[in-house]
Chains A and B, each alone.
Chain A
Amino acid sequence: MSADEHYRALVQRAAESVESLVGDVEPFTTFVAVHNVADEIEKVVSAVAERPEAVLYKLALREYNYALYAASSGSYRHAHIGLRMFLELFSAGIYFSAYEIKLRSWLSGFDGSDINWAALSNADTGIYSTSFVNAFNPAISSSAKQYRTIATATYRECSEFVHGNIHTQDLSFPPLSYKRESLQEWIDRAEAANLCVLFSFASRYLALLSKDQLAQVEAPMIDRLGHIAAVQQIYT
């Protein structure tokens, strides 16, 4: 098989995986639901598009879309890698929004300005810390610890795919082929990541948005975070 035939065959297998997914009605429905979240996050991001850190949200969204593509084509490890990067980039945007000098260092590519998950999720100083959330939206700070736990668990579970931990390996299963259980696990983590990203957005910006901006993000905020009384309160 020539190189071009080889890669065409891979594309063909990925296409077959997509077909299998589409034909499996129940999982496809939940997949479409997490696919639709990309649109919600886009709305959220566009509400703060003028801010200097918005570039990270756009990069994060790109990774989320790539993760969706990888998941649909049966490449579950890479779907997890993309999901982790989505979570990390979005969280970094939230973090940098409070530390402009770090944002500028990162955008300039200075040494030592790498994104560091441990710093982003730090219990005392990270984006889910009480002090951080209190600074921008104290009404929801009592929920911050719970979302930090979810974010940490999601990041850890995705990292197991990055590191190739044994339980993420399945030699009996060919890559680029549809597997219902693997897809469902990824969807669960994608839902968790989306929830965390939206919470971090609410904690950083929701109390500071204009009336128009609030209207722009109303649907994702109420649909995803409506169980938090303080979020509901903003819209009543």
Chain B
Amino acid sequence: MADFFFRTEDIRPEEVGEYFVENSQDRRIVDALKNRNPTILVGSRGVGKSFLLRVAQKELLERFDDERAFPVYLSFVKSSLLQSTDPEQFKHWMLAKITAAIIRGLQKQGLLAAMPKSAKALAGSDITDASSTPIEVIAEAYEESWQKPNEPIDTSHILDVDSLKNALEDLTDELGIKRFVLLIDEAAHIFVPEQQRQFFTLFRDLRSHCITCNAAVYPGVTSFGETFQPAHDATMLSIDRDVLAPDYVSNMREIVEKQADAAILKNIAQYGKNFSILAYSASGNPRLLLKTLAASPRVNGSQVNETVREFYRSDIWSEHSVLSDKYFGHKEVIDWGRAFVEGYLLPEIQAKNVSYLAAGKDTSAYLWIHRDAPAAVKEALRVLSYTGILTEQAVGIKASRGEIGTRYVVNLGCLFALESSPTATAFEIARGLTPKRMTEFGANHPSYRSLVDSVDKAPAQIGGYALNEQLEKSISVLDITEWQRGKLVALGLNTIGDVLGATEQKLKQASYVGDVRARRMRNAAVAAVLEYLSG
């Protein structure tokens, strides 16, 4: 199997430029992340949010000497590990993480060598570049609280929001920095509305002339709290690559070309149409494309047909379905979402496309949901958007009889997977797509009934997440390669908890193939664990 980077975490931050394939949308997003106005970047898994944050960080650092805007990248992916007794643990942890990330960033660039007083205030002590600062120790203590939940955490070194802003203001003066640009990845947990509210409140409160907050979130993060107003307090940008754009396939091919070897590149050139089908199936998601290409490196008809059917009929759904195991309070909604798409939506669109193609008409992959559809249905669509099965395209769209609703597009791979031979028909479907053809679901469509009935009987529980149960699960649930899985098993790391608790040294023992592979192996394992735990 081809050895691709599937996650940004596996790429060294200074190397992101080598993998960046710029299109106009990506450039607009990167520029927005770099400018003064706060930006919220929205996109499902694997579409490249982390990557663009890293690109913005790299470009800001390259221009730092002239523009004096200092980028700080940090991720809140470990929020699912917080299990302390501190009722304000998430807020404290966020503040500690931000502070620690700023200090580390400044140290790494050599800007803290003079040790300004304000830096001491931030760190809670003098800073030595080798050891952890007290503020880092606090952040780490929260992240390890899943191992010792009853152990109290000393939060005395954490600054409150105003003190943090003041300290950063002083720091900008002393270091000649115009502003800090925070690039916060995995910012708000999709299934924990309270964390979403706290995050966006902090996002709003941190606003200052010397701080620009930017964040990447998943679609469906909708709990903004009382002070944050999406339209006013940030520019909301979606990272949805338009499959209808004329340069869509060539753009996706260039992303692959940054990583593929000569053999695959040659196969792509010879079987361009098959590659286009993989690209359309990925629906703008580079990770899905790389995964399916890795599964069909010869790009011939039989491989592509098998991959599209296998991956988009089962593999892509495994991530969705596993959510109902982890978030048992949302089980009905999550399971209904899959049943709706597989049972109603896809067969209906497929049947329509058969007749459209036969009549030489445009094709469809679009659905429209009435704005007054039941809340549980909307929740199910939110989860489907989170996993990338659906993508919200536009709200306030008029459908038949002038009714108002939201238009979504279904993942094209899921649609093509129903074809008996995707390479024979998918290309024509993709080339004929028009959003004007939507399958409409009204406010009381019969398909909603089973969900509405079950939710009436047992309302969804908020949270419903048991970390300990997840930690005991086998590593078979992780999205890693067979080679990586084999190495983990060889080290006796059989559960999620084993991998999470393993030291870096322990994980490094698995690799005898050089530092690069060792780093990728380690990063991939831990990133997969955190991705699994975070939803």
Contacts and interface: CB of A to CB of B under 8 A. Distances in A.
Given A146-B253, A149-B257, A153-B260, A192 B265 contact: yes
B266 A192 contact: yes
A150 B270 contact: no
A16 interface: no
Contacts of B270: 195, 227
B265 A153 contact: yes
Interface string A113-148: 000000000000000000000000000000100110
A189 interface: yes
A192 B270 CA distance: 10
Taking each of A166, A191, A192, which has the highest tally of chain B beta carbons within 10 Å of its own beta carbon? A192
A189 B265 contact: no
A147 B265 CA distance: 9
Nearest to A155: B262
Interface in A170-209: 185, 188-189, 191-192, 195
Interface string B243-272: 000000000010001001111011011111
A192 B262 contact: yes
A143 B250 CA distance: 10
A17 interface: no
A153 B269 contact: no
Contacts of A147: 269
A72 interface: no
A70 B212 CA distance: 60
Contacts of B272: 227
Nearest to A188: B263
A154 interface: yes
Interface residues of A, number: 16
Main DSSP-derived SS at the A contact region: helix
B263 A149 contact: no
Given A227-B269, A227-B272, A153 B253 contact: no
A185 B2 CA distance: 13
Interface of B: 253, 257, 260-263, 265-266, 268-273, 514
Contacts of B273: 227
Contacts of A153: 260-262, 265
A149 B266 contact: no
8 A-B pairs closest in CB distance: A188-B263, A192-B266, A154-B262, A192-B262, A153-B262, A150-B265, A149-B257, A157-B262
Contacts of B260: 153
Contacts of B263: 185, 188-189, 191-192
Contacts of A166: 514
Contact of A149 (B265, B271, B514): B265
A188 B269 contact: no
A227 B269 CA distance: 8
Q: Which of B257, B262, B265, B514 has the most CB of A within 10 A?
A: B262
A28 to B, nearest CB: 18
B261 A195 contact: no
Contacts of B271: 227
Given A153-B260, A153-B261, A157-B261, A146 B269 contact: yes
A150 B253 contact: no
A195 B266 contact: yes
A191 B271 CA distance: 14
Contact of A189 (B262, B268, B514): B262
Nearest to A157: B262
Contacts of A192: 262-263, 265-266
Contacts of B262: 150, 153-154, 157, 188-189, 192
A154 B270 CA distance: 15
Nearest to A166: B514
A150 B273 CA distance: 17
A169 B172 CA distance: 52
Contacts of A157: 261-262
A147 B272 CA distance: 12
Interface centre among B257, B260, B272, B273, by most chain A C-beta atoms within 10 angstroms, is B257
A191 B270 CA distance: 11
9 contacts: A146-B253, A146-B268, A149-B257, A153-B262, A153-B265, A157-B261, A188-B261, A195-B270, A227-B269
Given A146-B268, A192-B262, A195-B269, 8 more contacts: A146-B269, A153-B260, A154-B262, A188-B261, A188-B262, A188-B263, A189-B263, A227-B270
A11 B260 CA distance: 37
A167 B153 CA distance: 48
A19 B69 CA distance: 66
In this complex, the member of B253, B261, B268, B514 whose beta carbon has the largest number of chain A beta carbons within 10 angstroms is: B261
Nearest to A150: B265
Max chain A C-beta neighbours (<10 A), residue from B257, B266, B272? B266
A68 to B, nearest CB: 17
B104 to A, nearest CB: 33
A81 B514 CA distance: 25
A166 B271 CA distance: 32
A201 B257 CA distance: 23
